[in-house]
Amino acid sequence: EDVSVTTPLLDTKIFRKDTYVSVTTPLLDTAATMPCKSTTTPERPLFGDAQRHYMHLPIGAQKPCVYVYSSWEDRAYRLHHANMLDTIAQMFVCEPSTYEFIAFAEKKVKASNLTLLDKKRLTMCKQELESMTEVAGGILEPKRRSLTVKEMMLEVQKIKKKLRFLVEEPQHTLPDVFVCLVSNNKRLAYARIPARHLLFSQSPEQRGRDCGKINTLFLQPPGKRGPGWTVQAKLDVYLWLGISRDSSHMLDNLPSGFELQGISSEHRTGPPPDYLLYTEQHLFQLRAHMYQARGLIAADNTGLSDPFAWVSFLSNSQSTGIIKQTLTPTWNQLILINNVCLYGGLYEIVQDPPLVVIEVYDDDAVGIEYLGSTVAVPVVKLSEERYSPPQLQYSPLFCGSLSGGDILGAFELIQNSKSGEHTLPDLDEPDGGVIPVPSYIRPVLCKYRIEVLFWGLRELKKVQLLSVDRPQVFIKCAGGGVNSSVIQSYKKNPNFTILVDAFDVELPEDEHLLPPLTITVVDWRAFGRSTLVGSHMINNLALFKHIPTFIQQPQPEPRNIAGNHINTHLPIYYDCQTLHQCQVSKKSKRRSSKRKKRTTADESADNVIDWWSKYYASIEKIQLQKENNPFPLLFENKQPGIVTLQVKCVITMLGLPANIVYTINKDLSIKWMCSFTCQSLQVYDKELEAEFGPFDDWVKTFELYRGKANEEEGSADERFVGKFKGRFCLYKLPESEEGEEDGYLDSGQFKIIQGIPPNTAVDVLIRVYIVAAFNLHPADPDGKADPYIVLKLGKTEIKDRDNYIPKQLNPVFGRSFEFQATFPKESLLTILIYDYDTVGGDDLIGETQIDLENRFYSRHRATCGLPTEYAIEGYNAWRDCIKPTDLLIKLCKENRLDNPHFSPGRITIGNKVFTGKTVFADEDQLVESYEHLALKVLQRWSEMPNGGCKLVPEHIETRALYLKDKPGIDQGHLQMWVDIFPMDMPHPGPPVDISPRKPKGYELRIIIWNTEDVILEDTNFITGQQSSDIYIKGWLKGLEDDSQETDVHYNSLTGEGNFNWRFVFPFNYLPAEKVVVIQKRESILSLDKTEQKIPAVLVMQVWDFERLSSDDFLGSVELDLHGFPRGAKSAKACRMEMLTESTENVSIFQQKRSKGWWPFIKAGELTGKVEAEFHLVTAEEAEKNPVGRARKEPEPLEKPNRPDTSFSWFMNPFKCFFHLIWGNYKKYIIAGLVLLIVTLFLVLIFYTLPGAISSKIVNG
Query: pLDDT tens digits, residue range 1207-1253?
Result: 555 555 655 555 556 666 677 788 888 899 999 988 888 888 888 88
92 pLDDT tier (thresholds 50, 70, 90): low
Residues 6 or more apart whose CB falls under 8 angstroms from that of 12 comprise 43, 45, 55, 56, 57, 181, 233
- Return the pLDDT at 590: 41
Mean pLDDT of 364-383: 89
- Name the DSSP letter for residue 802: G
CATH class in words for 1000-1184: mainly beta
1132 within 8 A of 1112, measured Cβ to Cβ: no
Q: How far apart are CA 485 and CA 506, in angstroms?
A: 24
251 within 8 A of 213, measured Cβ to Cβ: no
Degrees, nearest 5: CA angle 568-570-574: 120
Residues of the chain above pLDDT 90, percent: 39
Whether residue 526 has pLDDT greater than 70? yes
CA 237, 241, 246, 247 torsion-angle sign: positive
Whether residue 729 has pLDDT greater than 90? yes
Task: Tell me the fold of 281-415.
Answer: Immunoglobulin-like (2.60.40)
Whether residue 129 has pLDDT greater than 90? no
DSSP H or E stretch at residue 147: none
- Name the DSSP letter for residue 205: G
Alpha helices in 915-1035 (DSSP H): 931-939
Q: Coil, strand or helix: which one is 574?
A: strand
Q: Coil, strand or helix: which one is 717?
A: helix
Domains 281-415 and 445-549+692-745 share a fold: yes
Query: Closest by alpha carbon to 944, among 987, 896, 986?
Result: 896
806: buried, middle or exposed (CB in 10 Å: 19+, 13-18, 0-12)?
A: buried
**Segment of 323-337, 1104-1118, 1171-1185 carrying the highest mean pLDDT:** 1171-1185
Query: Closest by alpha carbon to 199, among 314, 373, 75, 112?
Result: 75
Q: How far apart are CA 55 and CA 183, in angstroms?
A: 13
List, in sequence order, every beta strand (DSSP E) within 377-429: 379-381, 393-399, 402-415
Mean pLDDT of 544-559: 57
933 within 8 A of 914, measured Cβ to Cβ: yes
Question: What CATH number does the domain located at 445-549+692-745 have?
Answer: 2.60.40.150
421 pLDDT tier (thresholds 50, 70, 90): low
Q: 258 φ, ψ to 5°?
A: -125, 165
Mean pLDDT of 550-575: 38
- Return the pLDDT at 856: 95
258-260: strand order across its sheet: 62-64, 275-278, 258-260
For the entire predicted model, the pTM comes to 0.75
CA 978, 984, 985, 987 torsion-angle sign: positive
List, in sequence order, every beta strand (DSSP E) within 220-257: 233-239, 242-243
358: β partners:
311, 374
- Return the pLDDT at 1044: 96
Among 645-649, 858-862, 926-930, 1069-1073, which stretch is predicted with the lowest mean pLDDT?
A: 645-649
- Return the pLDDT at 256: 84
Q: How far apart are CA 1038 and CA 1061, in angstroms?
A: 22
Whether residue 587 has pLDDT greater than 50? no
Q: How far apart are CA 1137 and CA 1155, in angstroms?
A: 18
- Return the pLDDT at 472: 96
Q: How far apart are CA 473 and CA 483, in angstroms?
A: 6
- Name the DSSP letter for residue 1222: I
Q: HSE of 431 in the Cβ direction (CA atoms, 13 Å)?
A: 9
Q: Which residues of 110-139 are buried (b: 16+ CB within 10 A; e: fewer)?
A: ebeeeeeebeebbeebeebbeebeeebeee
Query: For the chain, which residues make up each domain, given as ranges?
Result: 2-72+175-278, 76-167, 281-415, 445-549+692-745, 573-588+595-678, 761-862+953-993, 866-951, 1000-1184, 1212-1260
- Tell whether domain 761-862+953-993 is in CATH 3.90.1150.10: no
924: buried, middle or exposed (CB in 10 Å: 19+, 13-18, 0-12)?
A: exposed
Query: pLDDT tens digits, residue range 375-387?
Result: 999 999 998 888 8
DSSP H or E stretch at residue 535: strand 530-538
Q: How far apart are CA 213 and CA 253, in angstroms?
A: 7
- Return the pLDDT at 437: 92
Q: How far apart are CA 699 and CA 827, in angstroms?
A: 15
Task: Tell me the fold of 866-951.
Answer: Double Stranded RNA Binding Domain (3.30.160)
Q: How far apart are CA 641 and CA 656, in angstroms?
A: 23
Residues 6 or more apart whose CB falls under 8 angstroms from that of 608 comprise 1071, 1072
Q: How far apart are CA 661 and CA 669, in angstroms?
A: 7
